[in-house]
A and B are shown apart, each in its own frame.
Chain A
Amino acid sequence: MTSKQKGWKEVPIAGVCWTPTTDYLTGDWRTFKPVLDREKCTKCLLCYVYCPDGAIEWKRKEEEIEFNYKYCKGCGICANECTQEAIKMVLE
């Protein structure tokens, strides 16, 4: 999670950031995990558009929703908003 700490001679000037947040796995924050019942899923993608973390991906080729558990914080918005009750928050 934390990279080896750089000294002042190494860091870019002006505090320019040198790592994307995708290297920071917020998935270990959660207590509850969303689980998808694919049979109920109508692929409306509302869960995708309401996720604060972009932790739900639309796999175009497979035409499936994919939860990215590396980042999912388990907030439960997706489960709450799913009109088909296809997502359940499960204690991890």
Chain B
Amino acid sequence: MKRKMALAKQTILALSGDEAVAYAVKQSDVDLVAAYPITPQTIIVERFSEYVHDGEVDTEFMCAESEHSALTACLAAAAAGARTFTASASAGLALMHEILYVTAGCRAPVVMAIVNRALSAPINIHCDHADSMVERDASWIQIYVENSQEAYDSTIQAFKIAEDPDILLPAMVMLDAFFLSHTLESVNVLPNEAVLKFVGTRKIPLVRSHEDKLVPFKLDPENPLTMGPLDLYDYYFEHKRQQEEAMQRAPQTIKQVHDEYGKISGRRYGNGLVDPYRLEDAEIATICVGSTAGTTKTVVDQLRAKGVKAGLLRLRTYRPFPSQDITKAVGNVKAIAVMDRSHSFGAHGSPIFHELRHVLYDAQTHPQVVNYIYGLGGRDMPQTLIHEIYKDLQKIVKTKRVEKPVQFIGVRE
């Protein structure tokens, strides 16, 4: 009875991924949304501007003249003490690249939704993880969602994670272009008061200023401080080390926020960092981020029905990379296929493959790990192809041999 009472009364709305994100932002008492439209993120900004123009939110909506300026405005506003949000994709995110690093370096807790889309050239508007994968070094918290429900939930959680005074790192929430952004789903939304209570008001920590006082970490004429100085080789390294320390603290915060949110919504995604599916006794498994996990779950169920010990590990949090949780989850699997929807050209395989193999290097048991690069530019990843991957994994377990560690799947030869 007590648990039931803690759950907030939710409403079911038919929302696409983009709309779900806009709805989450609407409820989170955001001060400024500065954004520039780019397919497939456009619905987020369009919907949100409707909320603003209809007086449904007390938020300023700035139609920035470019993504670079959009993120800059969010960063500067956050520096002044505001809660800010922006959204982008593909080329827009690429244009922001410089400022991603600056935002993290200034420890501004900006939240951004990225609708994963391929990078040019040739220009392609469809689902691909290249845009956000390339930003994994920028010191942003990265969370990939599987469906529109999770897009809604994670956007709300992102504010709380980013603004945590021990973290103070910006956070990006990724949703797949068109598969999620433009597809209607039933999304359970919390009541406004519940979200408001959950996100609260921004807690601003104290920092020592040049007046040798501890003052709130924001631009305030009452307590002036200087942000964004020139570091020479005598201090830059220390500042970056601090950022890494915040990243190291982040898994704890992410799990905590995820858990707290689970208490009011009744929804959890694994432990917040990794989302295992039928992995406990699995002998073969795939690993991926994003909506492909949804399709893979169906395949796993089909295989399980036939007695195959198949499983799936969906990575929810990509940065910080949850090494321990991954090692624990897949430690006893015999063969793992990492499905990457992006590629590092010229490298031996793709980003998630690299990071997974690397993390398992230190593990007690070494499963066979292979890489399948799929779905670039929105190429569909149907169940048939995923079945093929699991069949390959079964062969690997049987023959104890890997013929091709890295393969492209779904591309016409």
Contacts and interface: CB of A to CB of B under 8 A. Distances in A.
Asked if chains A and B are in direct contact (CB within 8 A), the reply is yes
Interface of A: 5-8, 11-20
Given A7-B238, A8-B239, A14 B245 contact: no
Interface in B44-75: none
Contacts of A19: 210
A11 B225 contact: no
Contacts of A8: 237-239, 241-242, 245
Interface string B74-93: 00000000000000000000
A1 to B, nearest CB: 13
A15 B227 contact: yes
Contacts of B242: 8, 11, 13
Contact of A14 (B105, B210, B211): B105
B26 interface: no
B238 A14 contact: no
A8 B237 CA distance: 8
24 contacts: A8-B237, A8-B238, A8-B239, A8-B242, A11-B238, A11-B242, A12-B208, A12-B209, A13-B207, A14-B105, A14-B106, A14-B207, A14-B217, A14-B239, A15-B105, A15-B228, A15-B231, A16-B208, A16-B226, A17-B209, A17-B229, A18-B209, A18-B210, A20-B210
B345 interface: no
A6 B238 contact: yes
Given A12-B208, A16-B209, A17-B226, 13 more contacts: A5-B235, A6-B238, A8-B238, A11-B235, A11-B238, A11-B239, A13-B107, A13-B205, A13-B217, A16-B207, A16-B225, A17-B210, A18-B208
Contacts of B207: 12-14, 16
A90 to B, nearest CB: 34
Interface in B186-244: 205, 207-212, 217, 225-229, 231, 234-235, 237-239, 241-242
B208 A14 contact: no
Nearest 10 interchain pairs by C-beta: A8-B238, A14-B107, A8-B241, A17-B226, A12-B207, A20-B210, A12-B208, A17-B210, A16-B207, A8-B242
B238 A17 contact: no
Chain A interface, DSSP helix/strand/loop, else mixed: loop
Contacts of A12: 207-209
A12 B241 CA distance: 12
A18 B212 contact: yes
Nearest to B235: A11
B151 interface: no
Contacts, number: 58
A7 B235 CA distance: 9
Given A5-B234, A20-B210, A14 B227 contact: yes
A84 to B, nearest CB: 38
B168 interface: yes
Nearest to A20: B210
Contacts of A5: 234-235
A59 B395 CA distance: 89
B209 to A, nearest CB: 6
Among B168, B209, B231, B234, the most chain A Cβ lie within 10 Å of the Cβ of B209
Nearest to B79: A14
B293 to A, nearest CB: 35
Contacts of B209: 12, 16-18
B101 to A, nearest CB: 13
A15 B229 contact: yes
Contacts of A15: 105-106, 227-229, 231, 235, 239
Contacts of B212: 18
Nearest to A10: B238
A16 B79 CA distance: 11
Nearest to B241: A8
Contacts of B208: 12, 16, 18
A14 B238 CA distance: 10
Contacts of A17: 209-210, 225-226, 229
Contacts of B226: 16-17
Contacts of A6: 238
Contacts of B107: 13-14
B397 to A, nearest CB: 46
Nearest to B240: A8
A14 B108 CA distance: 9
A18 B215 CA distance: 11
